[in-house]
Amino acid sequence: MDQYGFARVAAASPEMRVGDVEFNKERIIGMIQRANQQGVEFLVLPELCITGYTCADLFRQTILQDGAVKALQEIAASTRGSLMVVMAGLPLNIKGRLFNCAAVIQDGDILGFVVKTHIPGYNEFYENRWFSRAELLDIQEIRIGDKAVPIGNDLIFACEDNDNFCFGVEICEDLWVPVPQSGFLAQAGAVLLFNLSASNERVGKASYRASLVEIQSGRCVAGYVYSSCNIGESSTDLVFGGHNIIAENGVIAAQSDRFLNTSDLISYDIDIDGLLSYRTAMGACHSGQNARGYRRVMFKACPSRRETLQRRIDRHPFVPDSKGQRDERCREVLSIQTSGLVTRMRHTGLSRPVIGISGGLDSTLALIVTARAMKQLGLSTQNIMAVTMPGFGTTDRTYSNAVSLIKGLGAEFREINIRESCLQHFRDIGHDPEDHDTTYENTQARERMQILMDLANKHNGLVVGTGDMSELALGWCTYNGDHMSMYGVNSGVPKTLIRHILHWYADYEADEAIKGILYDILDTPISPELLPPSESGTIEQKTEDVLGPYEVHDFFLYHVVRWGSPPAKVLWLAQHAFSGTYSRDQLLAWLRVFYKRFFSQQFKRSCLPDGPKVGSISLSPRGDWRMPSDASPQLWLKELEEM
């Protein structure tokens, strides 16, 4: 692993000839050398790649069996001086039975042999004609040369320097059965799973195969690396395509082309530390009765200090890249928000939502969610009491958009100017209105919330909250002001995603008039509008000028909360993601802001109103994030100061 916990894995399909172990050995050694040059730490090769999978009755020939073992020893010898772990397949004859095995090799040594657990009794190749099931193996070691090597389907490989870093191996059919072997390996601690396979091609099988790998990596919270033999196998009755797949925690990370005439290799950097952190958060789901019987075989860490990553780091981890996936994400999030509000209104029997509309992103989304909820409930949007409350910082642009949006969606429009009530409050508490401090700002936010709460009481209504998850992470809300509501529909939605949801709604559900309003709202700078505007009437108080860009803070939020990444790793990832856009010094300064505010503002999150979780992260004190309000950030800030 490198200093940030990434391990470079590879799946390869070398050129091969059926039964020609000398040819296959040379191509395998060449592939090992190629992988070494690319900084690969774990290389998995196909099932029975030393002999070929389609040898059929030739497997019974002792010359082929002995030749495979001799070739394996030479392959192992070729790895001397390298800490890359290599997995290659071959048949082993043990007490008159043949076993389909994966040899695990490092630095010239054979660390162990993993035996295939599930032998298909009826498939295109009738494999049980030649090979026995692992349960029939009655030894735990096999002598290869002058060394006794562990053998079985009960081996798990653990790192000498980090006992939490383990990997496991299964072979082809072991993944396709109802209860895959890799599930038990994951329960025993394997965070990397390797599959040596020989999966033939037929119409539609490739997508199903990829789905199996993808889903299993997610179920096991692991990196899953799958290698399959290529078109060099016999084409007597079947064709093999060399389909190599790498998946990480439920996502396909890399996939090879099929039907190539040459050797092929794909590689990817798996976030081992991130997976281990996520498993820790999941708790007991990765312990089990079946995990206790595994024998541990130690391997040496392959240290690396590479400064480049062989994986893409998403700038916007909450927002899918492709338009199709992004559209589906936006539709689904809106549906979750809408369903949450529908259920709350049905439960409370309250049919008059009360919502404050500022003309900004968050209140716009909350109003759209509320309008959709009313439609699902069979109620008129006129039942929505939408209140705009101009204050000292309200600009003509946001006021106009707020009014137009309320009327365009058919809600009841109310305008309550808060300037005089705030001035009266300043007089009551002895505050100079020319002193534009925190008191000046928070008075307005609390006055607005008092109005909304009292209107809800008066009209038997329910105050719909507008604050989003990004603001909650940074505490960019007034305690008991916009921080409060009776149901917070946006509390699980990050700011970077809100923009896309509004775009989606504008393009697919809004009429032309609403569409134009939404586009102008999307083009308006983000601001709480609590300080007076400029002389020309434009927004003077811009949130991102104070805190830093929300796209950067959402990136920090994702990696800190979702993956438990330490500050140095978060910064390093941010440098990769935002290269050419923001400098390291800028990112470092904003990361300090993030940690300071994330810790100091927990007291606001500790008493959040109810609101729906929509993605992989929630800051609800009743759900995914429970943190003491007086926790110290010094350990995290110290790491940043030392960088």
The answer on pLDDT for 290 being more than 60 is: no
pLDDT of residue 231: 85
Rounded mean pLDDT, 308-318: 92
| pLDDT (mean) for 466-491 | 96
Task: Round to whole Å and give the CA distance between 298 and 161.
Answer: 9
At 561-606, the pLDDT tens digits run 999 999 999 999 999 999 999 999 999 999 999 999 999 999 999 9
Q: Is 623 helix (H, G, I), strand (E, B) or coil?
A: coil
pLDDT band at 440 (very low <50, low <70, confident <90, very high): very high
Per-residue pLDDT band at 543 (split at 50, 70, 90):
confident
What would the two tokens of residue 364 be? 């716009």
pLDDT of residue 570: 97
Q: Tell whether the torsion through CA atoms of 412, 418, 419 and 420 is positive or negative.
A: positive
For residue 308, what pLDDT is reported?
81
DSSP 8-state class, residue 295: E
Q: What is the mean pLDDT of the chain?
A: 93
Question: Per residue in 391-420, pLDDT tens?
Answer: 999 999 999 999 999 999 999 999 999 999
Predicted confidence at residue 541, as pLDDT, reads 78
285 labelled catalytic: no
Share of the chain above pLDDT 90, in %: 82
Catalytic residue among 55, 166, 172, 229: 172
pLDDT in tens, 183-211: 999 999 999 999 999 988 889 888 999 99
pLDDT at position 124, please? 56
Average pLDDT value for residue range 361-379 = 97
Euclidean distance between CA atoms 420 and 221, whole angstroms:
57
In what helix (H) or strand (E) does residue 251 lie, and over which residues does it extend? strand 251-255
pLDDT digits (tens, 9 = 90+) for 105-128: 999 999 999 999 998 876 556 788
Mapped onto helix, strand or coil, the DSSP state of residue 313 is coil
Position 307 scores a pLDDT of 72
Please give the pLDDT value at position 120: 82
**330: enclosing H helix or E strand:** helix 323-348
pLDDT of residue 534: 81
Residue type, 379: L
Residues forming a β-bridge with 12: 265
Architecture of domain 323-641: 3-Layer(aba) Sandwich (3.40)
- pLDDT-derived band at 292 (thresholds 50, 70, 90) equals low
pLDDT value at residue 19: 94
Fold of the domain spanning 6-299: Nitrilase/N-carbamoyl-D-aminoacid amidohydrolase (3.60.110)
Q: State yes or no: pLDDT of 259 exceeds 80.
A: yes
Residue boundaries of the structural domains of the chain = 6-299, 323-641
pLDDT of residue 189: 93
**40 neighbors 273 (Cβ within 8 angstroms):** no
Tell me which of 49, 101, 116, 551 is the catalytic residue: 116
Average pLDDT (215-244) is 90
Residue 183: closest CA among 251, 285, 92, 253: 285
Active-site residue, from 15, 41, 47, 447: 47
Is 172 tagged catalytic?
yes
5-61 pLDDT per residue, tens? 999 999 999 999 999 999 999 999 999 999 999 999 999 999 999 999 989 899 999
Query: Annotated catalytic, 147?
Result: no
| CB-based contact 47:56 (threshold 8 Å) | no
**For 143-183, what is each residue's pLDDT tens digit?**
998 899 999 999 999 999 898 999 999 999 999 899 999 99
Instruction: Tally Cβ neighbours within 10 Å of residue 190.
Output: 27
Predicted pLDDT at 288: 55
- The SS3 of residue 363 is helix
State the pTM of this model.
0.91
